[in-house]
């Protein structure tokens, strides 16, 4: 969604004067906001033309209400409201509406639907760390809190007519390959973790699970499905045909979407640019109807939006149709309700003329759109709607700013420490070196808005009381010159402690930019080695989401500590130095594996397969399937203290599959039935109060081979366990987590031996056996049979 | 071999003054030739220090002679002669020697061992079209003739002390993937075709098959093995680990090497940059000893050279060892006899000190080198050696220049013609447009020397009598601007006939540069469409080796003809217009398939597999395995006349495997035994004298599944078949061609039904049956068991 089509709305708002043009959103003052600021309005159900229409009757259900208003639309009016920038219908008192707002980690101006003020109220919004940092916190309560703040701020912007109520957020494609440029927008590589994360995120965004009477704001789970390649090997996302087996589609690529749609009841889904097994996702009736609506029961009060220009790509990149009108027809008939882009707007009339679609095809999508607006309270009196009362006072509150800080502090991962961290108080003079040392906007990653403030590492170090000498050493993460080394070395020699802040940024990993290497780019590693040679206490801060091979840093005795800091957001500098000085103890866990550098020469990104494959050299993907030795394991993270783990009560050693399934029949879905809840006593045996993330894995050889190395089945974060104290971590495990997926994509519970393990590296284990006949938990619809 | 290490030899030639430095050969006047021109000498066996050594005794065998001289070397002297730029041994009268000369399609200054004069004698050499054009001619006699001219010119350069006797030529890696930047150096994608081609090439290069008494010049079959990735997806050849199954290794990747080594008795082989199944090729005892020396009987009078700096890469790119000395040791012990590069020179002493190698390891490689020099007549009196009499008079002779022209004329492939070609004589005014229209050096492709002349398309058109208006239209093949379109269109409107000369060149496909797309690059296709709109007779010349998707050009009625012209060499312009005007009739065949553009988004280059693979989306590679619809089929090529084919005598319908194998026992190897010879009557039923390439394919479902679409099993080119006349094409087929390869890499004859087909698209077919038990023809050594 980087290059986008924007409808430049003329002052009189008449459809005939609309001009479609390609623009790129590059900052808060883009063409989109300069032309004529878009103003959001609400229909007037008291005195407006629709006051007697059923859409204005709050006693009726949303779909009935939507049908009543959409039935009044002329064909031209249907078409004028089929795209992200909808015209509305002036004669009916329906204002224009922009469905495309963004809020990946805070209300953002990177979607054209949000208009920040140049100064004063609504000129900024809380800017949280990137989702990958939130993922590293492994804290579901925190995730929901973040989403709640964002949705509150979004409602406040909407009430000020500066943003829509629909957000193309979150990105929940599991991070299959370390090279992906957009992995930063996700919580990591594990599909169960992402599924759990998105449940809590949607809960916070939408104001509850399918809340009544009103949805707070609409979240949009994207990109459906199997999207995680941007531009690699000459292939861009709009051309890519992802070949995915039904087994891996169900168990991995769709798992977060099932959680988002079926369980968290998200109100919208975005179909992706890529093709899946030969069919462009936005033209795929199997995905959009069979899986999404029939299998997961995505209702007609919610909608599917195309990724921006993805309908266009059905023809001009995928060549799946031979014209734009045919692309529009195949998309709308497959179930793409809103065209982010302009193809529906420009070609649906031609498609109607050529009998490729009928009026009912378009009307159905409009009903879905307006039903969702009904659920947002769009047609109802604002008086009784608390969300409509939110204002600038509710944006960037002290509590929200504290939360942005907390996400960073909770998410940072201590990758190495020889005791140098936390820094001793006698270290006063700090040499702060590296391309990230004075980073500001870079700390936000992509899809961001204007933050209230941006605390750079340099500001954080200064505020922490250090006498700081800042020398970048290199001009950017990609700079290959060693011209700046001498000054950096000189500063380091004069200091008591040396901190290097580097890694990767948007120049290396971004939308439209996958990585080709996973080493420290530019001359950074040479600079790190030069600094290491000096022999001062030496800490490396590793920024960016995608991991870089830290083998040398981990093996070098001269590198005393490494902290992964991701994209830490507006309070990054403060959080970093609170960790380095010990004001806060680190407890984040790496939500992705750190692969060795040679991984990229073993398997290309076009090959989607997770399981290792000897024929292609694929060494396997993610910690579940990778057959090599990772540089840093998935879930790794050190502390400033030590923890001893033990089972709170000894878990069962035998489970009867029949009884488990019988008990599960009361759950909304069989796979959500409880397997067991495991209590773990987490005893802080060191001297520092600290959070602890309990990660529970299972390993088995039950079910179809091959078998994953292990699989995450539960996690929880306990907070502030005092030195010498203990807390109990309770990890509830659903049947789905101990299930395995067959080649048809169905989840089964198989009899056999299972081993639980806690922590990375594992501290305690428990072996149990499942007896009885295999039990099928889900019936995944077979591809090729759209209903 | 682009970036290379050169030993800058001081005037006194003393080893102590040698300096190793990295330089890049970029033109005839490089650092390498400027420092102090290297002068080749010969040892003096009459009066020199070795006159009484057995090496000077021509009655003894080469290995005995080599051992006699190498036994005199000190350890330092052994080491000083272990690299491509050997010091020689001054005290023994052994001059320095550079093993690295190049002559891919003519004696070339792109290897440091060849020194062209600035002017006058030896300032140029015949520059043939790139091997891909020679491959397209499908003319084994022509191939041998070309190699004979090159070896003659190489000897003349050597006699003038301007070149060595060893040429890092030919490149015979079968062209697995259309994106490969070096496919231009090969005859194409079919392994049998390449195997046949290299047999005749080595025959011409070396002056016969294992000739006595003297080898003419030494050819070097490269790159051993499974090398066909240069820089793709962020992976360079020196890092790449090619995962190849034993089955496909034997039947495809090694097939040309077996022909080169076992059958054509090549004197040297180059191990490649890449790893194969985890082992760097130059460290792979399985490849270099088990397969090469034990299985194919590559004798101790011949040597293996590393690709340049490939020994270095064993450590610093592949990380297969932990030091350079260990890399040197593992390479030399695996069987890498000469280090193109400097690692042996700089680290073998350390390896000796650390007991990683012993003297005998180094001595063995020197024996192989000197034995090969003995076979070249290096130690023998020049008087009785005809090759030693060759001189400047033998370089660039009229016959050689004619041959360079003939290769181009025979190799061009007519891809489309609606009758516009040959051009009518009334078309006088020609608009010549496109980035290749005035190409000169570009016509040589890579690895070239100075040609005696370079006839551009523009010169060719002018010489053909056209009134030519030349307008490039775009500034390069990659130019995306349409600024030059108007002038091109204007010229086209004023012309009687429009010729567009474009395609790809070294800016798109090159050593170190694989392609990411296979479409017409830059704005060329837009320019072609603009020219097509004019409606004048319109011909497109498609240059470059890698194919571009011609779907639009083939379907457009306004494009009247397409000729693929590759890299046509020094006489390219003349040959092109002789074809266009009908002076010569085209008969070349495309030696590679033209894939549709979307192929590149289906499978990455890192995946080596040929057979289609549903799990990875691999649609299959080469015409044998590709499951999609090619844009242009392998072996396609039109004529100016029509040909009717019939079997000269009806072939047999039944063969007994037992008898076939029994008859084959008289062949040097069972798989070389004759299966049958097929006679085809080629009748020219049109009005134009023309060559015809008879391509014979077989299709079967005998043997292990899956089954290839079809496989080339024989070809021959008949020349100048007159209108109304007929010629007989005789195609001899060895057992190996109807054999199939099992998972262990063994060739078998399987009973079952087979269908022969002739021509593309097929004109006549013949069905036969093999009866009897399966018979194993070869016993391919299993990987992992080095002797």
| Residue A609 distance to chain B (closest CA, Å) | 6
Looking up tokens 């992200």 gives A84
Say how many CB pairs under 8 Å bridge A and B: 98
Residue of A229, A234, A236, A517 to mutate, interface with B, max B Cβ within 10 Å? A234
- In angstroms, the CA B602 to CA A314 distance is 16
Give yes or no for A243 touching B (CB within 8 A).
Answer: yes
Give yes or no for B237 touching A (CB within 8 A).
Answer: no
Query: What pLDDT is stored for residue A21 in this prediction?
Result: 31
Cβ contacts of A617 on chain B, cutoff 8 Å: 241-243, 606-608
Cβ contacts of A515 on chain B, cutoff 8 Å: 234
Give burial (CB, 10 Å; 0-12/13-18/19+) of A369: buried
Task: Spell A644-663 as b/e; 16+ CB within 10 A means b.
Answer: ebeebeebeeebebeebbee
Contact A234, B604 (CB under 8 A): no
Structural element, H or E, at residue A566: strand A561-566
Q: How far is CA A2 from the centre of its chain?
A: 16
Q: Output the DSSP codes for B656-709.
A: EHHHHHHHHTTSSSGGGSEEEEEEEEEEE-SSS-EEEEEEEEEEE--SSSS--S
Query: What pLDDT is stored for residue A93 in this prediction?
Result: 96
Pair type for strands B740-741 and A752-758: unpaired
- In angstroms, the CA B398 to CA B149 distance is 11
The three-point CA angle B41-B46-B48 to 5° equals 60
- In angstroms, the CA A113 to CA B781 distance is 66
Report the chain A residue with the minimal C-alpha distance to residue B514: A233
Query: What pLDDT is stored for residue B39 in this prediction?
Result: 78
Task: Spell B1-40 as b/e; 16+ CB within 10 A means b.
Answer: bbebbbbbbeeebebeebeeeeeebeebebebbebeebeb
Report the chain A residue with the minimal C-alpha distance to residue B320: A598
Cβ contacts of A517 on chain B, cutoff 8 Å: 234
Q: Which structure tokens are listed for A625?
A: 């399937």
- In angstroms, the CA A481 to CA A474 distance is 7
> Between chains, do B241 and A608 touch, taking CB under 8 Å as contact?
no
The structural domains of chain B, ordered by start, are 43-394 (3.20.20.300), 412-624 (3.40.50.1700), 642-776 (2.60.40.10)
Q: How far is CA A574 from CA A457, A466, A537, in A?
A: 7, 13, 21
> Between chains, do A598 and B234 touch, taking CB under 8 Å as contact?
no
Cβ contacts of B245 on chain A, cutoff 8 Å: 614-615
Query: What pLDDT is stored for residue B701 in this prediction?
Result: 96
- In angstroms, the CA B548 to CA B554 distance is 12
- In angstroms, the CA B256 to CA B171 distance is 10
ipTM field:
0.80
Largest CA distance in chain B: 79
Give burial (CB, 10 Å; 0-12/13-18/19+) of B398: exposed
> Between chains, do B603 and A606 touch, taking CB under 8 Å as contact?
yes
> Between chains, do B603 and A600 touch, taking CB under 8 Å as contact?
no
Give burial (CB, 10 Å; 0-12/13-18/19+) of A751: middle
- In angstroms, the CA B396 to CA B404 distance is 10
Contact B414, B403 (CB under 8 A): no
- In angstroms, the CA B370 to CA B92 distance is 14
Residues of chain B with pLDDT under 50: 1-36, 785-787
Report the chain B residue with the minimal C-alpha distance to residue A614: B243
Cβ contacts of A600 on chain B, cutoff 8 Å: 233-235
- In angstroms, the CA B149 to CA B771 distance is 46
Report the chain B residue with the minimal C-alpha distance to residue A238: B601
- In angstroms, the CA B658 to CA B774 distance is 9
| Residue B761 distance to chain A (closest CA, Å) | 27
Contact A150, A395 (CB under 8 A): no
Cβ contacts of A603 on chain B, cutoff 8 Å: 606-607
Per-10-residue mean pLDDT of chain A, 787 residues long, equals: 31 29 36 55 96 97 98 98 96 97 96 94 98 98 98 98 97 98 98 98 98 97 97 95 97 98 98 97 98 98 98 97 98 98 98 98 98 98 96 98 98 98 98 98 96 98 98 98 98 98 98 97 98 98 98 98 98 98 98 97 96 95 98 98 97 98 96 97 98 98 97 98 97 98 98 98 97 98 71
Q: Which structure tokens are listed for B135?
A: 């491959």
Cβ contacts of B521 on chain A, cutoff 8 Å: none
- In angstroms, the CA B768 to CA A522 distance is 63
Query: For chain A, first and last CA: distance in Å?
Result: 30
> Between chains, do A617 and B233 touch, taking CB under 8 Å as contact?
no
Pair type for strands A740-741 and B3-8: unpaired
B660-669 CB contacts, 8 Å cutoff, 24+ apart: B660/B735, B660/B749, B660/B770, B660/B775, B661/B735, B661/B749, B661/B775, B661/B777, B664/B735, B664/B777, B667/B734, B668/B263, B669/B262, B669/B263, B669/B778
Pair type for strands B279-280 and B275-276: antiparallel
Query: What pLDDT is stored for residue B695 in this prediction?
Result: 98
Query: What pLDDT is stored for residue A10 in this prediction?
Result: 28
Partner residue opposite B601 with nearest CB, options A235, A245, A613:
A235
Partner residue opposite B245 with nearest CB, options A607, A609, A615:
A615
A307 is catalytic: yes
Contact map slice: B 162-181 vs A, CB within 8 A: 179
Give burial (CB, 10 Å; 0-12/13-18/19+) of A735: buried
Query: For chain B, first and last CA: distance in Å?
Result: 30
> Between chains, do B605 and A233 touch, taking CB under 8 Å as contact?
yes
Contact B341, B236 (CB under 8 A): no
Report the chain B residue with the minimal C-alpha distance to residue A240: B601
- In angstroms, the CA B746 to CA B670 distance is 12
Coil/strand/helix, residue B755? strand
Residue of B233, B245, B608 to mutate, interface with A, max A Cβ within 10 Å? B233
Residue B413 phi, psi dihedral angles, 5° rounding: -120, 125
Q: Which structure tokens are listed for A624?
A: 């579940």
């Amino acid at each position: 969604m980087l290059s986008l089509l924007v409808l430049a709305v003329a002052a009189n708002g008449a459809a005939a004067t609309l001009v479609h043009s390609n623009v790129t959103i590059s900052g808060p003052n883009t063409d989109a906001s300069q032309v004529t600021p878009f103003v959001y309005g609400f229909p007037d159900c008291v005195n407006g033309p629709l006051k007697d229409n059923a859409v204005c009757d709050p006693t009726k259900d949303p779909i009935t209400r939507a049908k009543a208003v959409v039935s009044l639309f002329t064909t031209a009016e249907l078409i004028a409201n089929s795209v992200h920038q909808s015209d509305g219908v002036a004669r009916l008192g329906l204002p224009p509406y922009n469905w495309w707002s963004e809020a990946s980690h805070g209300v953002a101006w990177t979607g054209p639907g949000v208009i920040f003020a140049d100064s004063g109220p609504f000129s900024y919004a809380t800017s949280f760390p990137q989702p990958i940092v939130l993922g590293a916190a492994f804290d579901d309560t925190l995730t929901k809190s973040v989403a709640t703040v964002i949705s509150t701020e979004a409602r406040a912007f909407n009430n000020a007519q500066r943003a829509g109520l629909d957000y193309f957020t979150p990105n929940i494609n599991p991070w299959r390959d370390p090279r992906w440029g957009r992995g930063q927008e996700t919580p990591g590589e594990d599909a169960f973790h992402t599924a759990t994360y998105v449940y809590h995120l949607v809960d916070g965004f939408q104001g509850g699970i399918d809340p009544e009477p009103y949805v707070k704001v609409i979240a949009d789970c994207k990109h459906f499905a199997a999207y995680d390649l941007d531009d690699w090997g000459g292939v861009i996302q709009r051309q890519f045909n992802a070949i995915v087996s039904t087994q891996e589609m169900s168990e991995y690529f769709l798992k977060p979407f099932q959680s988002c749609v079926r369980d968290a009841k998200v109100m919208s889904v975005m179909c992706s640019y890529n093709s899946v097994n030969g069919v462009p996702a936005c033209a795929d009736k199997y995905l959009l109807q069979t899986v999404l609506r029939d299998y997961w029961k995505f209702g007609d009060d919610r909608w599917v939006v195309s990724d921006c220009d993805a309908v266009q790509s059905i023809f001009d990149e995928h060549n799946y149709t031979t014209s734009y009108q045919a692309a529009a027809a195949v998309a709308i008939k497959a179930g793409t309700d809103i065209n982010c882009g302009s193809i529906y707007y420009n070609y649906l009339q031609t498609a109607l003329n050529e009998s490729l679609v009928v009026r009912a095809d378009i009307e159905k999508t409009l009903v879905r759109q307006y039903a969702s607006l009904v659920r947002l309270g769009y047609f109802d009196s604002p008086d009784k709607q608390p969300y409509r009362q939110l204002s600038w006072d509710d944006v960037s509150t002290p509590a929200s700013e504290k939360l942005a800080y907390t996400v960073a502090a909770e998410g940072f991962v201590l990758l190495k420490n020889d005791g140098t961290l936390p820094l001793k108080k006698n270290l006063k003079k700090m040499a702060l070196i590296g391309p990230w040392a004075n980073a500001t906007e870079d700390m936000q990653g992509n899809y961001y808005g204007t933050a209230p403030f941006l605390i750079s590492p340099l500001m954080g170090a200064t505020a922490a009381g250090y006498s700081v000498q800042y020398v970048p050493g290199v001009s950017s993460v990609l700079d290959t010159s060693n011209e700046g080394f001498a000054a950096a070395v000189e500063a380091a020699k004069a200091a008591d402690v040396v901190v290097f802040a580097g890694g990767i940024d948007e120049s290396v990993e971004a939308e439209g930019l996958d990585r080709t290497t996973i080493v420290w780019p530019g001359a950074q590693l040479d600079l790190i080695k030069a600094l290491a040679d000096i022999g001062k206490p030496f800490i490396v801060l590793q920024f960016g989401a995608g991991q870089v091979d830290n083998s040398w840093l981990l093996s070098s005795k001269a590198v005393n500590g490494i902290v992964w800091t991701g994209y830490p957001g507006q309070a990054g500098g403060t959080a970093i130095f609170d960790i380095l000085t010990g004001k806060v103890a680190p407890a984040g866990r790496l939500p992705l594996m750190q692969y060795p550098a040679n991984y990229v020469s073993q398997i290309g990104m076009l090959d989607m397969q997770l399981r290792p494959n000897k024929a292609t050299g694929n060494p396997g993907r993610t910690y579940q399937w990778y057959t090599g030795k990772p540089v840093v394991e998935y879930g790794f993270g050190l502390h400033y203290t030590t923890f001893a783990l033990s089972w709170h009560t000894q878990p069962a050693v035998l489970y009867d599959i029949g009884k488990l399934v019988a008990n599960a029949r009361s759950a909304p879905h069989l796979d959500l039935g409880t397997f067991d809840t495991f209590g773990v006593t987490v005893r802080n045996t060191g001297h520092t109060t600290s959070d602890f993330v309990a990660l529970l894995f299972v390993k088995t050889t039950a079910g179809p081979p091959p078998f994953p190395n292990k699989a995450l089945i539960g996690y929880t974060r306990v907070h502030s366990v005092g030195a010498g104290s203990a807390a109990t971590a309770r990890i509830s495990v659903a049947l789905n987590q101990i299930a395995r997926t067959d080649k048809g994509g169905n989840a089964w519970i198989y009899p056999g031996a299972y081993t639980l393990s806690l922590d990375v590296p594992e501290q305690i284990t428990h072996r149990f056996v499942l007896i009885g006949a295999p039990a099928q938990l889900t019936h995944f619809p077979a591809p090729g049979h759209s209903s």
